[in-house]
């Protein structure tokens, strides 16, 4: 094992490693979905809705993953999905993937948007499949199919569901474009990622020249810098089933259709001559909000029982593979993790990724009590409790994993945010509203609160302007009304200011007929506030939590917001202060909405330090926060074990007891009880 692979224990580890290796635009191109990334995250979340039913003492020593598909016996039930422009992420990326797949005897799909000619990929892997985006004109269709056949491919995969390109605004945010546009920012990213610059970019240019789109038509396509490169992939919105029938008459090999998400479309594809179907939403890169392939898989399988049905989307673990097979998939494909592996360690990295996934499947087959993959369909996977996002209830404002910020000057977004998946919606009258629009925004928020729809259990928070501004009293008079749950106070400096704010809220409550007290969420955003955080948190019964404001705290002091030690120091100090006062602590905003890895890392750090949730400034951050602050299955199981052991110890009159060889006493029990309570609130456990 090379040094680059030490510490790589799962496919997810490759993503974190690739993020360090690749320039931001290239990594963003590979990792992103489209618009809010709802489908991208939904693909992963769907697997959490199913659980395993194990059998024991089944004699599982003779396990096999061998799988027959389309006339070939493969060594594992998964293959490498087609991915465009792999050679931008890893030197000769398509060849690297093809060779690793051949060595492991799993299928690899050569992409129609590849930068290495399909003929070269076929030479590297005689069993590779070719995936095509159908050209718009019949003569171009015929010419491309003739080229694929001459190259010796036996399986052609036609990608449907891409009539137009998805709205991949994340590409713009990270500085990626197709065609690529040289810029100072792109050059800087290359210089600051020397492994990629030397090992992939310069090596490619020196040995092979400027990359071209090689496989979109019968002849070599445009260079990746050419302005007309996008046009090579256009003109597909008129395509219909007659074009698939035409392809069937022209192509003499095996035909598979990728992108099927509907049972009727599956039947149509079969009737047009398709010999296999891949259920796919294209990795969440086309229609944002498209359901996970796993959700529609059973219906598609039922619709075409005699046709092999495969799927891709969200698979990162051996357990995911087994769940897909249990729901009817004959085979699955995995994409991003393998190109991450290629970027990190070339062919050795891809081989390691393949072996890791095979080992997980092999191990988990034994734990399930099966020796053949098809046995997982014999009642071994069942739907679990719905683990989708469940919002906090108004009488429990501390259970806010995610708080979605909405500018107070954008009233058209209020209801939309409230209908989303965030546990709380925080409307901002402070920093997000320019001085010239303060009055208008305040009036708009007040009007919405008076008539707002039901919250579905979500918290409604308003961040008002600070107490030392001329807007504070007017903000309170406008927004403290029955539609408000929590008032977020920025920059309190002392316990006295907190008590003064509470008294002002009480006056507004009386004036506006508010009977349920409004909670007070306090932002710790200055050096003085950090020093007095415990006293501030304890200043008034109305205080329901502390919230970290790192930007306002660090910027005036010249502290780098990305300095992890500084972030951890502040988070720990605020958490300890909140704990002393008996209230929860909430992490603040992460400004770079494009950096999902950075957001998730910071959220996970906050959770390890005992924080209850984190602010979201974009809807794409909401599922990250909800996932980060959700108890894991292992934590829930351990908490239940601690609680059960505590009951037994209490009955025996013991003040401390052993759980899994570790001494446990009251503080550990309190943490376990909190985890169980959170799990029940999220319906991960039934009510007691």
Q: Looking at residue 503, what is its pLDDT?
A: 93
Nearest to 406 by CA among 379, 424, 383, 384: 424
Give, in degrees to the nearest 5, the angle at Cα 520 between 519 and 525.
160
Is 389's pLDDT higher than 70? Answer: no
Between these two residues, 62 and 32, which has the higher pLDDT value? 62
- Contact call for residues 512 and 483 (beta carbons, < 8 A): no
pLDDT level of residue 181 (50, 70, 90 thresholds): confident
Is 670's pLDDT higher than 50? Answer: yes
Average pLDDT, whole number, for the chain?
Answer: 89
Give CA–CA dist 409/429, Å, rounded: 8
- Contact call for residues 636 and 676 (beta carbons, < 8 A): yes
Which of 24-38, 134-148, 659-673 has the weakest average pLDDT?
659-673
- pLDDT (tens digit per residue) in 124-159: 999 999 999 988 778 889 999 999 999 999 999 999
Q: Which of 223-227, 361-365, 514-518, 549-553 has the highest mean pLDDT?
A: 361-365
pLDDT level of residue 388 (50, 70, 90 thresholds): very low
Give CA–CA dist 494/492, Å, rounded: 6
Between these two residues, 357 and 181, which has the higher pLDDT value? 357
Q: Looking at residue 390, what is its pLDDT?
A: 30
pLDDT level of residue 418 (50, 70, 90 thresholds): confident
Q: Looking at residue 169, what is its pLDDT?
A: 79
φ, ψ of residue 257 to 5 degrees: the values are -110, 125
Handedness of CA 136, 137, 140, 144 (dihedral sign): positive
Average pLDDT over residues 12-26: 91
Q: Looking at residue 416, what is its pLDDT?
A: 86
Give CA–CA dist 257/247, Å, rounded: 11
- Note the CATH number of domain 402-628: 3.20.20.60
Is 394's pLDDT higher than 50? Answer: no
Average pLDDT over residues 211-240: 78
Q: How many other β-carbons are positioned within 10 Å of the β-carbon of residue 341? A: 31
pLDDT level of residue 455 (50, 70, 90 thresholds): low
- Contact call for residues 424 and 404 (beta carbons, < 8 A): yes
- Contact call for residues 623 and 389 (beta carbons, < 8 A): yes
Q: What percent of the chain has pLDDT over 70?
A: 93
pLDDT level of residue 358 (50, 70, 90 thresholds): very high
Average pLDDT over residues 356-367: 98
Nearest to 623 by CA among 45, 202, 163: 45
Handedness of CA 407, 413, 415, 420 (dihedral sign): negative
Q: Looking at residue 164, what is its pLDDT?
A: 85
pLDDT level of residue 368 (50, 70, 90 thresholds): very high
- pLDDT (tens digit per residue) in 639-656: 788 777 777 776 677 666
What residues are annotated to the active site?
282
Q: Looking at residue 296, what is its pLDDT?
A: 94
Give the position of tokens 């990622």.
193
Give the position of tokens 């008002």.
464
Is 69's pLDDT higher than 70? Answer: yes
Q: Which fold has domain 3-383?
A: TIM Barrel (3.20.20)
Coil, strand or helix at 195: helix
Report domain extents, the chain: 3-383, 402-628, 633-681
Q: Looking at residue 392, what is its pLDDT?
A: 33
pLDDT level of residue 678 (50, 70, 90 thresholds): confident
Q: Looking at residue 187, what is its pLDDT?
A: 82
Coil, strand or helix at 392: coil
Q: How many other β-carbons are positioned within 10 Å of the β-carbon of residue 327? A: 20
Of how many residues is the chain composed? 688
Q: Looking at residue 149, what is its pLDDT?
A: 98
Coil, strand or helix at 333: strand
pLDDT level of residue 101 (50, 70, 90 thresholds): very high
Average pLDDT over residues 189-208: 93
Give CA–CA dist 134/568, Å, rounded: 51
Positions of E strands within 241-356: 254-260, 276-279, 309-312, 331-334
Give CA–CA dist 659/647, Å, rounded: 12
Give CA–CA dist 118/221, Å, rounded: 12
Q: Looking at residue 454, what is its pLDDT?
A: 66
Is 235's pLDDT higher than 80? Answer: no
Backbone torsion region of residue 660, taken as left when φ is above 0, otherwise alpha when ψ lies between -120 and 50, otherwise beta = left
Give the position of tokens 């059998």.
55
Q: Looking at residue 66, what is its pLDDT?
A: 97
Same fold? 3-383, 402-628: yes
Query: What residues have CB less than 8 Å from 75, skipping those under 6 apart?
Result: 65, 66, 104, 105, 106, 358
Q: Looking at residue 655, what is its pLDDT?
A: 65
Q: How many other β-carbons are positioned within 10 Å of the β-carbon of residue 657? A: 18
Give CA–CA dist 323/332, Å, rounded: 11
- Contact call for residues 645 and 631 (beta carbons, < 8 A): no
Q: Looking at residue 225, what is its pLDDT?
A: 81
pTM flag (> 0.75): no
Q: What percent of the chain has pLDDT over 90?
A: 64
Nearest to 669 by CA among 680, 684, 683, 659: 659
Tokens standing for residue 225: 């810098």
């Amino acid at each position: 094992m090379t040094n680059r692979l030490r510490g790589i224990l799962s496919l997810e580890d490759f993503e974190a490693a690739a993020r360090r290796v690749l320039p931001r635009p290239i990594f963003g191109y590979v990792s992103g979905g489209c618009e809010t990334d709802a489908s991208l995250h939904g693909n992963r979340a769907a697997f959490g809705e199913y659980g395993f039913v194990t059998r024991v003492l089944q004699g599982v020593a003779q396990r096999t993953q061998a799988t027959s598909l389309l006339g070939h016996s493969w060594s594992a039930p998964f293959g490498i999905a087609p991915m465009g422009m792999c050679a931008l992420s890893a030197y000769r990326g398509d060849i690297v993937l093809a060779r690793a797949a051949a060595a492991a005897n799993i299928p690899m799909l050569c992409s129609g948007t590849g930068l290495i000619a399909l003929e070269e990929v076929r030479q590297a892997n005689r069993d590779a499949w070719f995936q095509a985006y159908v050209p718009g004109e019949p003569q171009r269709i015929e010419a491309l199919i003739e080229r694929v056949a001459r190259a010796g491919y036996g399986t052609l995969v036609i990608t449907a569901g891409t009539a137009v390109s998805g709205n991949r605004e994340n590409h713009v945010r990270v500085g990626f474009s197709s065609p690529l546009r040289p810029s100072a920012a792109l050059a800087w990213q290359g210089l600051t990622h020397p492994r990629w610059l030397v090992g992939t970019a310069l090596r490619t240019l020196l040995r092979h020249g400027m990359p071209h789109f090689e496989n979109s038509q019968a002849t070599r396509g445009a260079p990746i810098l050419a302005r007309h490169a996008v046009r090579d992939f256009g003109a597909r919105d008129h395509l219909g089933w007659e074009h698939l029938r035409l392809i069937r008459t022209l192509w003499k090999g095996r035909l598979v259709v990728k992108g099927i998400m509907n049972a009727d479309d599956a039947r149509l594809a079969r009737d047009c001559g398709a010999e296999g179907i891949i259920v796919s939403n294209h990795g969440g890169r086309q229609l944002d909000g498209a359901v996970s392939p796993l959700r529609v898989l059973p219906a598609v399988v039922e619709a075409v029982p005699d046709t092999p049905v495969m799927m891709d989307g969200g698979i990162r673990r051996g357990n995911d593979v087994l769940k897909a097979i249990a729901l009817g998939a004959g085979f699955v494909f995995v994409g991003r993790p393998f190109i991450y592996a290629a970027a990190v360690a070339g062919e050795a990295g891809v081989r390691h990724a393949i072996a890791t996934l095979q080992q997980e499947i092999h191990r988990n087959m034994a734990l399930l009590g099966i020796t053949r993959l098809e046995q997982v369909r014999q009642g071994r996977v069942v739907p679990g409790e719905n683990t989708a996002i469940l919002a906090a209830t108004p009488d429990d404002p501390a259970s806010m994993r995610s708080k979605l910020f909405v500018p107070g000057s954008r009233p058209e977004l209020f209801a939309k945010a409230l209908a989303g998946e965030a546990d709380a919606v925080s409307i901002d009258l402070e920093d997000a509203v320019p001085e010239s629009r303060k009055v208008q925004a305040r009036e708009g928020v007040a009007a919405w609160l008076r008539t707002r729809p039901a919250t579905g259990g979500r918290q409604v928070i308003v961040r008002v302007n600070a107490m030392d501004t001329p807007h504070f009293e007017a903000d309170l008079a406008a927004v403290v009304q029955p539609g408000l749950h929590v008032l977020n106070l920025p920059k309190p400096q002392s316990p006295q200011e907190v008590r003064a704010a509470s008294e002002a809220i009480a006056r507004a409550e009386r004036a506006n007929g508010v009977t349920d007290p409004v909670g007070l969420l306090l932002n710790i955003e200055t050096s003085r506030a950090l020093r007095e955080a415990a006293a501030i948190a304890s200043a008034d019964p109305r205080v329901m939590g502390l919230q970290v404001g790192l930007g306002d705290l660090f910027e005036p002091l010249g502290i780098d917001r990305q300095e992890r030690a500084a972030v951890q120091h502040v988070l720990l100090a605020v958490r300890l202060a909140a704990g002393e006062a008996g209230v929860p602590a909430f992490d603040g905003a992460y400004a770079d909405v494009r950096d999902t890895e950075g957001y998730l890392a910071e959220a996970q750090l906050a959770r390890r330090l005992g924080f209850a949730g984190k602010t979201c400034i974009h809807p794409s951050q909401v599922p990250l926060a909800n996932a980060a602050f959700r108890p894991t299955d292992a934590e829930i199981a351990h908490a239940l074990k601690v609680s059960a052991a505590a009951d037994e110890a209490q009955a025996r009159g013991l003040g401390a007891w052993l759980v899994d060889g570790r001494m446990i006493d009251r503080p550990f029990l309190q943490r376990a009880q909190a985890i169980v309570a959170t799990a029940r609130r999220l319906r991960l456990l039934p009510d007691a």
